[in-house]
Every structure is written in structure tokens, then in C-alpha cells.
Structure 1
Amino acid sequence: MSEHAQSFITHLIGLKDRERGAFAHLKRSLGFDPGAYPPAYPYVERFVGADKHADDPRRQALYLTAGLFAFHPMHHEGASFAAALGRLGRSRESESIEKRFVALLGAEPESLPTLLRQSVSLLAADGIGCDYVSLLDDLARWFDHWNLEARDRLRQHWARDFYRAYDPHTASADDLDAALLATEPAIEL
């Protein structure tokens, strides 16, 4: 996890407490390509960096994460996004969650925002949070068109996290302990 990602999520948590209008703009930004909705700029652009271009992977990740956080501001440190979905699939005993997750793993960066928004909607419905700091760092790698190897490693990591939480019987004892810690109730910030 990067310090930059941590400070950005801390910024978003602060916005939730003091500026409700910001969350409306950030939620609305989910209907656009990441970074293409000007009313969201005041809340995100200061974290982008002057040397970043419009299609920079980190910039896209910042905007998408901001929108997802505004949609479901339940940050749960240490619970990866994939593990949160696995936990949801296990609790609902639903194969459709697994199918959605597999589709998400195969997603190209262009379709990722829509699939993530749908997944976050499911998490919100069940009150399950995730670690937005790690999600931000993950999305920056996913949006990087030049490093396909890093994206493949990330997909493998997500698959391991999902299936450890989805079916704890396939995990080792150490993995199971980690999964149990990650399934502690999230704190709504």
C-alpha cells in the first residue's frame, strides 16, 4: 500500500464528514470514463500530480476509486476487494457472485468501471466493506496498458483472495486465519 493511496482515502473520508455535495459529484462521476467528469475535479485532481496526462493509469484509478468510495463509503482496512466479494458469495451461497467475479477478472480496463460499480453495489446491499487503499493501488496497475504482466499477477492475486474467502475449505490454516481477520465487521466511516 502506498502512502499516496492512504492519504487520498483519508481525504475522501474527510469529505464524507464535511462536504456532502462532493460525494454527489463523485457518485455521478461513475457514469463517465474515469477522470472525464469536471465537477469531480476539485476533489481528486490535486492528488493526480502535474506531470500526469489525462489517460495516466494512476489518474484513472484515483477517479474510479473516488466514485466507488462515494457510492459505498465502508472502508475496511485489510479486506481486499476480491476477498469482500468472496465473502459476499459465501454468505449468499450464490454462484452468480462467482460468475460476476470471473467476468471481472477477465475485464479489460475499458469495461472495469461498470463491472466494479455493479460489484460495489452488491457489497453495499449486504453492508460489506473493502480496503479502498489497496483497491486504488490495484486499479492503478490494472489501468496500466504497458504492464500486462503486472495486471496478470494482480488478477491471480485477486483470484486467490476471492476463493480463500468464498470457499475457506480450500485455504491453508494460515490463509483461513487471515480470511477470518478480514471478515471482521467493517466500520462505516
Structure 2
Amino acid sequence: MSDLAERFVAHLGHLAERDRGALAVLRRSLTFAPGTHPASYPHVERFVPDGHERDALRQALYLVAGLYASHPRHQAGTTLARSFGLLMQHRDSPSIEKRFIALLSSDADGLPELLRQVVSLLSADGRSLDYVALLNDLIFWLRPWALESRDRLRQRWARDFYRTTPDEAPDAVDRSDAA
């Protein structure tokens, strides 16, 4: 799925540069269940492969589109968990850790709202994240039958979050004006 994820995030980057209206539509889609906001279909549906109309891949595409639209700062190699861990180090806030644990504990239904909150906090601090990696991870997280894969994913996110060190924090902040 990595090639699809890379093409999709590049498409979102193009929208961020040239179509602010599309980003507004995709941001609005976060108030709906992933893939149920008809106005967002023109921007996402072309990336949904045949046979995936109702599965985790489609939901993940819509969720990442909305998240990207709310905070269009992609940085390859900086996972959401690592970026959030750096935020915790920077702010030294126990509430950030609590939010992360809630995120790790969430099911597919609660995940979109928790991710929206996490990305909002990252945005407020000017931190970027790797949307390609996030999309690839969400495909597994949203599959109802992939419990073992989801557990491994949660463990990997926990390692990324807890293995951040305070000396990483200043260098990891993206203060660019790029949208």
C-alpha cells in the first residue's frame, strides 16, 4: 500500500498548494464518519481501489485526508507517535500522555476523534508528521479482524512515543510557513 499512500499524500500536498476550498471540504469531513461526507468524494474516491469500497483502506484514506487538511505539514520519517512524544517532552504535560494512552486504547469507532485531537495539538505546536506512515498504519488499525496486527501496531506506536528524548524536541519542530 505504500505506493498508493505516497501518491495519495502527494495529491493532498497538491491540494494544499492549489485548492484551499478542497482542504476546507476535507476538514469538514472530519465531523462525519470516514467516507460518508459526499462533498469529499471528488478528492478521495479516485484513490480507492476496486473492491475496497467498504473496507479499512477506504476509511483510512478519508480519515487521513481530513487530518491532512486540518494540519498540512507532512514530514517523512516522523511518525505521529514520535511527533506526539516530542510534544510531550517539549511541554512536559501529563495530559498529553493520557491522550496518547486513550489513543492506543481506542477502537475503530473512537479513533477518528482522538486522532483529530492529537493532530490539532501537533498543529498548535507546529509539529509535522508522516502521513504516508499514518495511512499505512490506519489500514491495519481499522481492520476489524486484524487484532494481532493492531496489537503490534500499538506496541510500535508506544515505542515511538516513549523512546523520544528531550534533546530531540527542539530539532523536530517544523516552524516553516509552508501550508
TM-score, normalised to structure 2's length?
0.94
Which residue matches 1:53? 53
Which residue matches 1:87? 86
Report if aligned partners of 2:128, 2:173 keep a CA contact under 8 Å in 1: no
Cα distance between partner residues in 2 of 1:24 and 1:185: 22
Deviation at 1:79, TM superposition (A): 0.2
Residue identity matched to 2:96: I
Report if aligned partners of 1:82, 1:158 keep a CA contact under 8 Å in 2: yes
Deviations 1:149-180 (A, max 9, x none): 00000000000000011xx28xxxxxx9xx67
Deviations 1:17-60 (A, max 9, x none): 11111001100000000000000000000000121132x00000
Match status 1:157 vs 2:146: no
1:55-134 equivalent positions in 2, closer than 5 A: 56-134=55-133
Report if aligned partners of 1:76, 1:186 keep a CA contact under 8 Å in 2: no
Match status 1:29 vs 2:18: no
Deviation at 1:184, TM superposition (A): 6.0
Residue identity matched to 1:183: A
Which residue matches 2:134? 135
81 and 51 in structure 1: CA distance in 2 versus 1, 3 angstrom threshold: same
Report if aligned partners of 2:86, 2:172 keep a CA contact under 8 Å in 1: yes
Cα distance between partner residues in 1 of 2:158 and 2:143: 19
Deviation at 1:185, TM superposition (A): 3.3
How many residues are matched?
Answer: 178
Cα distance between partner residues in 1 of 2:10 and 2:175: 16
Provide the secondary structure at the position in 2 that maps to 1:113. Answer: helix
Cα distance between partner residues in 1 of 2:160 and 2:29: 28
Which residue matches 1:13? 13
Provide the secondary structure at the position in 2 that maps to 1:130. Answer: coil
Deviations 1:94-153 (A, max 9, x none): 010001000100000000000000111100100001000000000111001111100000
Report if aligned partners of 1:29, 1:67 keep a CA contact under 8 Å in 2: yes
Runs of 4+ in 1 over 3 A off after TM superposition: 184-189
Report if aligned partners of 2:81, 2:157 keep a CA contact under 8 Å in 1: yes
Unaligned runs of 5+ residues in structure 2 are none
Match status 1:185 vs 2:170: no
Cα distance between partner residues in 2 of 1:34 and 1:72: 17
Cα distance between partner residues in 2 of 1:22 and 1:65: 14
Residue identity matched to 2:35: G
Provide the secondary structure at the position in 1 that maps to 2:163. Answer: helix
Deviation at 1:186, TM superposition (A): 6.5
User: Over aligned residue pairs, what C-alpha RMSD do you find?
Assistant: 1.9
TM-score, normalised to structure 1's length?
0.89
